[in-house]
Structure 1
Amino acid sequence: MRVFKSAAVLAASIALLTTGFAAEAGAQAACPAGKICLYTGANSTGRMATFTWGSPDLRGQGVDRAIWVVSNHPRGMCLYPGYNYTGWPSSVGETVARGFQVSPTSSVKPCTG
């Protein structure tokens, strides 16, 4: 009986890992080439908006306080906690292989320098 429970737990763990990798691949595929995609929920859930040049106020796109990012953008982008590019930004490099969680973001634009 114990062997069957261990096998079931192992199978469930493998299924969860496989699903996680598939979700990451799906998020990357859902973000068009040349864009950065911001999501209101973790793991590419919630509302999504795509950007080429950014936005000074993410309320206009319905993704204010976005917490998840996927980047297929050819250059680095800066994510700001405040509107109009205020506060200390987080940077996202070119074409991130998978999505990741960021601090709540209220504006985004290409990084300079």
Structure 2
Amino acid sequence: MVYTGSCHCGRVRYEAEGEVDSGLACNCSICARRASLLWFVPRDKFRLLTPEADAATYMFHKHVIRHRFCPTCGIHPYGEGTAPDGKPMAAVNLRTLENFDVDSVPVTHFDGRSK
């Protein structure tokens, strides 16, 4: 299935392909503050529909995840990084998907604060 999503104002829009079978809630310093619910997909299953330059990037701690957000409305639709197997991945914020019920998937809690 192909899902579409965006930030609040629509400046950053994307498509992600796959089956959403769960969401990940992390308690690290940034995830806890923005309350995102993440779904991980291979980077080649994620496509930005707006210009790359429309999404700002924030990096912190080990500088391995590119946290992407809209500089206009501030919403975080996705992040980019590398999966444990070394392959590029995208971390889609399920709360930014269009017509998707986040309560329809189980949530796994990850202790990112201790990492």
TM-score class, shorter-chain normalisation, is under 0.3
Highest RCO, 1 vs 2 (Cα 8 Å, sep ≥ 6): 2
| TM-score normalised to structure 1 length | 0.27
Bigger fraction of residues in helix: 1
| TM-score normalised to structure 2 length | 0.26
